[in-house]
Amino acid sequence: MENNSYTTSDRLDYLEFRQNLLILKQPCHKATVFFDLTIDIYLKMKEKSYEFSQKLKDGETLKLYDYEKLIISIWPNISNYPSACSLIAKCLLDKDVFNSIIE
């Protein structure tokens, strides 16, 4: 059950995130995987993505695979859709951080 104490900003970020996922997804990718994505999961992914970015900026060597493991640990349902983690990374990470993990 979701908590009703979210800020308006959190709610708008969540809706924008879901919208971006649907816009960025490949045509062959099923959008139904994102149906179970709750605001609680989103906020946890957002927090961990920030921590991931900080580690990378502090000089730790991380790749997309490390980000995928992080996301799957938060939301195991996503493990059946490998390209979904890349979409999430593209939405939640800064452009420079995203580019550095896919190199």
Instruction: Reply yes or no on whether the pLDDT at 1 is more than 50.
Output: no
pLDDT digits (tens, 9 = 90+) for 51-91: 999 999 999 999 999 999 999 999 998 888 778 888 899 99
| DSSP for 72-98, written as a single string | HHH-GGGGG-HHHHHHHHHHHS-HHHH
pLDDT interval class at 100 (50, 70, 90): very high
Measure the CA–CA gap between 92 and 84, rounded to whole angstroms. 12
What are the extents of the domains in the chain? 8-102
pLDDT digits (tens, 9 = 90+) for 13-54: 999 998 888 777 666 566 677 788 899 999 999 999 999 999
8 Å CB contact between 74 and 44: yes
